[in-house]
Structure 1
Amino acid sequence: MSYEEKSLPHDVIIEILSWLPPETLLKFKRVCRSWCSIITTRDAKFVAIHQSHFGNSLQDMNCGRIVIAREKYKRAFLYLKLRLVQERNPRRIVHMNMELRIPNTRYFRDHYRIIGSCNGVFCYASFRVDNAPIQLCNPSMRWAYLVPPYRFGNNLKFPFINACYGVGFDRFVNDYKVLKFVSKDGEAAAAAIYSMKTKSWKRLTNDSVQLPKSLWCLPLSVFLGGFIHWLGYKAKTWTRTIMLFHVCNEVFGEMQLPAAVLESRHDNIYHISISVVKGSLCLLVEELTDDHKGIWQVWTMKEYGVAESWIKQRKVVLGERIMMTTIQLTVGGKILCSNYKSQKLFLYDPETDKYQYVGLGSSFSCSLVASL
């Protein structure tokens, strides 16, 4: 009988490993073949359990992780060099040697974004090019997965589309799924979902699921409670809303924004983003004053799915000494900012009114930074 056969039951090993930080897991790959297989095979069940244990503790300790991608050119490909830092101590670089690549043409490069994350896995895709490849990446565990492109057909004008993506975890079948939703002229054009388990795309039609109509969504998505969320606008009225997609049931829905945000004039709101902070759905809303100063409001949904439970947590005015553009709220509740002149990234803590330097971003850093 081999050593591996004498070891603990497989489920017990998974439970033990799921409580360890990523850096320790990477070292434990060398213990034996079975441990290496659990850690490196991108097993969706293990990743989800690990995130539920270790990821939640990170949020409780206000030390989530921020992934920053910077451009690097090599021949026919654009490489994105990934840097992973701790939210609590952004000067500590957890990992910085991983690379992603896409075809190095301006046509592709300008339209690629980090557009969503789930359980420490982020999705990197083009929101304008219909047949562009998609990358799933877990920088903590140092793996990347190339999702084959899915093109909806010639009925969509190539390449000028508005594609929304989201990545979510189906806990009933232990599978990561990627949704691609394309709208055209404010109308729902098509939707498809990719399964990592079956390694295949499935087209969603009005016969199988009711596609949302007259809805235009922003590229960034977040995953919470089994749903992928996007900020959106109803095309005819330009009313703000949150679009939902239930990953398990594969159906669309909507969620209402805070009444005060809905009633605000569109020309007063300069920036709005959606995030998950300490397990709750949150909004970061930037309003411009008459003297063109930015005021940030942080809204939190205390009871998920209940529109009346939106609460304005705080109102923040960032210092005038740094010309900032906001990116998003981090999992620990800090505001991730970018100096649009120097491309430097900062974390602003509303509770202490202090900035922390994170590092240099990319030339389009607002689209290549994610909080995991």
Structure 2
Amino acid sequence: MDMPHDIVIEIFSWLPAKSVHKFKSVNKFCNTISSAEDTYFNEKQSQNALLRDDSCFFLQPNWIQRYRAKHEFHHLSSKNTTSGVSHGFFQFLEHYPACRIIASSKGLILGRSNIELFICNPVTQSWLPIPTPSYLEKYPDADLKVVLDCNVEDSNDFMLFLFEVQDEWASQYIDLRFYSVKECMWKSVEASFFHGGRPLRFDMHVYYRKALHFISNCYTFISKKSPYFRPYIMAYNVEDGSSRMIRIPKEARRGSHDLTCQMGIYKWGKPTSSYDSICLVRLRKNVFTIWVLANYEIDKWRRILKIRVKAIGVKEKDPIIVTGFIVMNGDKLIFATEEKIYGYGLRQENFMKLEEICKHEFGRGEMSFIAFSDTLRPCGHTVVTLPLMQQN
């Protein structure tokens, strides 16, 4: 029995990109609706992807941006090892000059090659060159403080912000630019971002309540009399340009200047749930402690976990060294040791359940995780095919 066209589109739009591509090879109708020209279907599928979990992640070393990075690509679950990312995309990462992934959000990747920037969808093999900002032309060796976020409600556009940090010690204010997808150009933002007295971690952010949130570093170099002596979170409202400091828990501030202390903030909760927030992860002396921001207005936190890495159940030789971590999909701690990558449940039926995900080849080097979800999300209106794909 044939189903109406609009019902078929609705059903297929909830599938991940990999499944859509599988059906393309066996069904003429599926091949038509998922073609690059079918903007309606691609945009609908990418909007539905906002409600799905990220299923994969990239690994790369924490090097400065102007150097080429070795990349590894893994699936979040050892039971699911398929994705829509093409082999050509990995060839592109390997051969394009000094190519490095800077950020990823719901199927789109922000990359850098020398002083060139681009947005790319590894599934559709589409590529959108981004005009080189004047800041990067002036400081070609600089690490860009840039944010990519696709979690924009009721829109298939992406947010791309550049924080022009020339000297973090000279001023407590940072100038901003945002990339206009429609105009294909960088535009200045009138309101500067007040960042306090500490450098911020722009390599991770949480978009929450229409604001971008960043955590500061933990280094001890500020006077105890300063309100910025301990680490904190700063928020920048993308609508009105206001800045706000959010204090982290007292327990997290204690011992934060320890050389072993690392902190990160991540989105907490599912998009489909009635409650979402920000979670704070601290790793200090091989102990994970995690808090959830229970009341945003008064900076009230709730601790949900404190556990030694060894007590998690990792079966490796001592000492167990954690080389990187992230919280994915609002409920799962992913961390790497010298040999392997593990997942540790933080909510409901998976709470405190350990899963061995895969092995990796980075050893003791400090790593960064970049979450990824394969979607058909469009890059923009002036996209072309990946450069190396054009040569093949």
TM-score, reference length from structure 2: 0.67
1:94 maps to which of 73, 80, 83? 83
Cα offset, 1:318, TM superposition:
0.7
Cα offset, 1:321, TM superposition:
5.7
- The reply to whether residue 286 of structure 1 matches residue 283 of structure 2 is yes
Residue pair 1:91, 1:358 contacting (<8 A) in 2 also: no
Give the AA of the match of 1:191.
L
2:49 maps to 51
Paired with 2:151 and 2:345, the residues of 1 have a C-alpha distance of 30
The verdict on how the C-alpha distance between 1:26 and 1:228 changes in structure 2, with shifts beyond 3 A counting, is farther
Paired with 2:107 and 2:187, the residues of 1 have a C-alpha distance of 24
2:161 maps to which of 164, 179, 197? 179
Cα offset, 1:123, TM superposition:
3.2
Cα offset, 1:157, TM superposition:
5.0
Q: CA offsets per residue over residues 100-144 of structure 1, 9 Å max, x none?
A: 438877xx56xx5544x4334343458xxxx72334344566655
1:267 maps to 257
Residue pair 1:299, 1:311 contacting (<8 A) in 2 also: yes
The verdict on how the C-alpha distance between 1:140 and 1:348 changes in structure 2, with shifts beyond 3 A counting, is farther
The verdict on how the C-alpha distance between 1:90 and 1:182 changes in structure 2, with shifts beyond 3 A counting, is farther
- The reply to whether residue 311 of structure 1 matches residue 311 of structure 2 is no
Residue pair 1:231, 1:241 contacting (<8 A) in 2 also: yes
1:346 maps to which of 321, 332, 342? 342
Give the AA of the match of 1:253.
S
Q: How many pairs are equivalent?
A: 328
1:123 maps to which of 102, 105, 110? 110
Residue pair 1:337, 1:345 contacting (<8 A) in 2 also: yes
Residue pair 1:167, 1:228 contacting (<8 A) in 2 also: no
- The reply to whether residue 223 of structure 1 matches residue 207 of structure 2 is yes
Residue pair 1:136, 1:146 contacting (<8 A) in 2 also: yes
- The reply to whether residue 83 of structure 1 matches residue 73 of structure 2 is yes
Paired with 2:200 and 2:123, the residues of 1 have a C-alpha distance of 29
Paired with 1:160 and 1:174, the residues of 2 have a C-alpha distance of 30
Paired with 1:272 and 1:79, the residues of 2 have a C-alpha distance of 23
TM-score, reference length from structure 1: 0.70
Give the AA of the match of 1:223.
Y
The verdict on how the C-alpha distance between 1:79 and 1:300 changes in structure 2, with shifts beyond 3 A counting, is closer
Q: CA offsets per residue over residues 32-76 of structure 1, 9 Å max, x none?
A: 534313667996x435522234x1xx4xxxxx42222569xxxxx
Paired with 2:181 and 2:16, the residues of 1 have a C-alpha distance of 24
Q: CA offsets per residue over residues 184-219 of structure 1, 9 Å max, x none?
A: 332335321113343222122xxx223325452112
Question: What does 1:294-309 align with in structure 2 at a 5 Å threshold?
Answer: 294-302=286-294, 305-309=296-300
- The reply to whether residue 20 of structure 1 matches residue 15 of structure 2 is yes
Cα offset, 1:312, TM superposition:
0.8
Question: What does 1:225-240 align with in structure 2 at a 5 Å threshold?
Answer: 225-232=209-216, 237-240=228-231
Give the AA of the match of 1:356.
E
Q: CA offsets per residue over residues 65-89 of structure 1, 9 Å max, x none?
A: 2222569xxxxx958666341x343
2:244 maps to which of 254, 257, 277? 254
1:201 maps to which of 186, 189, 202? 186
**Unaligned stretches of 5+ in structure 2?**
62-66, 271-276, 311-317, 374-392
**Unaligned stretches of 5+ in structure 1?**
1-5, 59-63, 72-76, 289-293
Paired with 1:144 and 1:153, the residues of 2 have a C-alpha distance of 20
1:3 maps to none
Cα offset, 1:300, TM superposition:
1.5
Paired with 2:38 and 2:19, the residues of 1 have a C-alpha distance of 11
Cα offset, 1:332, TM superposition:
5.3
Q: Which has the higher contact order (CA 8 A, sep 6+)?
A: 2
2:133 maps to 150
The verdict on how the C-alpha distance between 1:92 and 1:160 changes in structure 2, with shifts beyond 3 A counting, is closer
Residue pair 2:324, 2:369 contacting (<8 A) in 1 also: no
The verdict on how the C-alpha distance between 1:144 and 1:23 changes in structure 2, with shifts beyond 3 A counting, is same
Paired with 2:148 and 2:278, the residues of 1 have a C-alpha distance of 16
SS of the residue 2:367 aligns to: helix
2:334 maps to 336
Identity of aligned residues (%): 15
1:61 maps to none
Residue pair 1:180, 1:193 contacting (<8 A) in 2 also: yes
Paired with 2:345 and 2:195, the residues of 1 have a C-alpha distance of 39
SS of the residue 1:179 aligns to: strand
SS of the residue 1:23 aligns to: helix
Give the AA of the match of 1:301.
L
Paired with 2:69 and 2:38, the residues of 1 have a C-alpha distance of 25
1:210 maps to 192
Paired with 1:362 and 1:83, the residues of 2 have a C-alpha distance of 12
1:74 maps to none
- The reply to whether residue 322 of structure 1 matches residue 299 of structure 2 is no
SS of the residue 1:27 aligns to: helix
